[in-house]
Amino acid sequence: MRASLLARAGSVAAAAVIAVTGAVATAGAADAAAHVRRLPTHLSIAKVPAILHHRHVAVIVGDLRSHRVPLAGKIVFLDRKTPGGPWVVVRKEVTRRHGEVAFVVSPKLNARYVLVFKGTLNFSPTRSRVVVVRARA
């Protein structure tokens, strides 16, 4: 049996409507996902002097939170800046159970350090304040 010209035109039109509305629905979902409001975050930083293997070092510690709730399992970067140089990513660590992270540093020159959280789909990016670690002579 051959389909009539009217039936063929109807099926083509139906397919076109499905294709267009499917594309519009997909674009609408992607647009809505792009405008999701992310939760604010806060990243604290501190330096703690320590002795490790008979060497004086500094431990850079941080704490990542959102609305006072610790964020575990998030990647935090340690950036360093030496006098006259650019900010450089030195290392990265994953936050522990209570949102804490730690880095051991022993710079040969005085250096400034900052912790950086680049954010996720649910959480906004943030940076800590800068701490200065002096080189040991």
DSSP assignment, residue 39? B
For residue 121, give the DSSP letter. Answer: S
Using the structure block, give the residue that is written with the tokens 């040991």: 136
Output the six-digit token pair for 131. 């701490």
Q: What is the pLDDT of residue 36?
A: 78
The number of C-alpha atoms within 13 Å of 40 and in the hemisphere containing its C-beta is 3
CA 85, CA 38: separation in Å to the nearest integer?
Answer: 33
The predicted-structure confidence for 1-30, as pLDDT tens digits, reads as follows 455 555 555 565 555 555 555 545 555 555
Number of H helices, E strands in the chain: 1, 9
Token pair of 34 as six digits: 């792009």
Domain 42-133 has CATH 1.10.3720.10: no
What distance in Å separates the CA atoms of residue 16 and residue 65, rounded to the nearest whole number?
49
Other CB atoms within 10 A of residue 128 CB: 22
Q: Quote the CA–CA distance of 70 and 34 in Å, as a whole number.
A: 25
Query: What's the mean pLDDT in 108-122?
Result: 95
pLDDT digits (tens, 9 = 90+) for 37-84: 999 999 999 999 999 888 889 999 999 999 999 999 999 999 999 888
Q: For the chain, give every domain's residue range.
A: 1-35, 42-133
Mean pLDDT of the 86-109 span: 96
